[in-house]
Structure 1
Amino acid sequence: MLLASGQSAVVFSDLNPHSRTAVVRQLDLSLLHTFKTIAECKSLSLASQRLHKTQAAISIQLKKLEDQVGKRLLDRGHQTAELTSHGELLLQYARKMLALSNEAMDLFVKEEISGTVRFGIPDDYANAFLRPVLRDFIQRCPNVRLQIRNDISQNLFSALEKGELDLALVTRRNNDGNGEILRCDQLQWVAGESFVMVPDVPLPLALYPHGCGYRGQILKALSDSQREYEIAFECTGVAGVQLAVDSGLAIAATSSALMQPAWQVLDALTHDLPVLGSVTIELRLGNHEVPIAVQHFADELRKQVSLK
């Protein structure tokens, strides 16, 4: 069957043998985007946060897509949503189709996207994630002006609440449902290659200042385990922590994404250190309408920061 110029591609076509009328079924890109987001989040509730829609609306879109393809795409449990075999197959097509759609749209609209994006990020996250985000976003949206604030998470939360920032990448401080979780990493004790733990000596720490999400978690774990410590190096930037650890002056705690090549991981049991648990990185948007430029920047953050 030939398609007229400008007509959408046919995804499914059934022929009724009695009426000999073709029944055309087409995939809706907006439904595929919702499906892809659910698959990546493995949760309808998390997908609803990312898409800024209600969970009921997400469920309706998923049901509509399942009706279109005539297959069940997800097995939904109490907390998670797992892909069926048909869902895994469709996800491959969804990613290709959405990527091609984005490529085509970028070709025509990237010169039209303008404005200012006010973004906040802690120093260690900037060091780990920001370079590829800036590279790809500037190429994609060359007419957008970026204003970046480098600060600890606590101050970035305040800036968002005051309307001073459009979005921020922060360490999660509470489960209020307003942030979009991008990754959750185990905190690990780290030291320089030459560091040697001395028994019965207070643990020398390199820490960020008050207000850093990691700091409170680290000190609470040490206090709960009654492990003696001293703050040997306190700094506001990642360079200071790296200097303290590399020189052997102090140890620190960090996530896998922020590890440096020359650092060693200290086994908690072997070195009589408390287990620290995990740390969650989330994307927060300001309390106002989200401009298209901010949406594009948020997409780049999701692509670069989210666990694959």
Structure 2
Amino acid sequence: MPTNAEIIHRALDRITAEYVFPEKAAHIDALIRPRLAAGEYDGLEERELCETVTAHLQEACPDKHLRLLWTDEPQDLNPAAEDEGRSAFLELLRAQNQGIHRFEHLDGNVGLIDLRRIASADEGGRAIGAAMELVALSSALVLDLRECRGGAPEGAAMWCSYFFPDDQVHLNDIYERRTDSTRQFWTVAHLPAPRYLDRPVYVLTSAVTFSGGEDVAYTLQAHGRATVVGETTRGGAHPTVRYPVAAHVLVTVPAARTINTVTGTNWEGVGVVPDVAVPADEALDTAHKAALRDLGA
């Protein structure tokens, strides 16, 4: 079992090597290691260690994706098993219906999809298509992301693709520090359900909406394809990799950054600001009424 010092050294080594902003990684290292040398982390149980180090990481660099996480399931520390984080995420999505929590047909022929996670495009594509098939004949759509806590960039691009006519829309780019490369995300050419075009789309947000959920909201808003209703989101725009540093401790390292093709920036630290600001628990009613007005109902 590694000591607290070993856990922190492993975490800092990962952050230094892969955090998307090298200068900030150096600053983090310079602030955390003296705390370690001073004995601030001595004697802490691993759960408390995660909370304490995360608070110090956030003081050094307020990136909400940057943290130590406790996990009940023991992790394989073998470097060859580093894809286990993805495997665990895929299992979570399978257990949660690929993030699609519910569908509802609201008064006035308004469709509602309640989305809690953004599935990967490969495994989740059929489920995403099934949800969009259910709303294909609706006159307006409400996409509820108030409880959406993240997911896969490819899945976010697939969700967004349904609201554009073809594969010619450049949605955003993701720059990865480790490879010094930029990956472009465009609308998908072939989708398993009809595209949702020429009809109003409302996206609901809350202070809980995070990461991949923010990606969908920000992208549709920036491209003028949806009206965002609700609260400003949490503000986490950096795609993240998880590495085990002890059997029950993971370090999450934001290893890339999103660049929207319309705004030239992203929602990191500021969140997605709604077009119509209302408390989260009023967002659905507000959006539904707005949709009915759009439809002349």
**Class of the TM-score when normalised by the shorter of the 2 chains:** under 0.3
- TM-score of the two chains, using structure 2 as the length reference: 0.23
**Higher relative contact order, chain-length normalized (CA < 8 Å, sep 6+):** 2
- TM-score of the two chains, using structure 1 as the length reference: 0.23
Higher Rg of the two aligned structures: 1
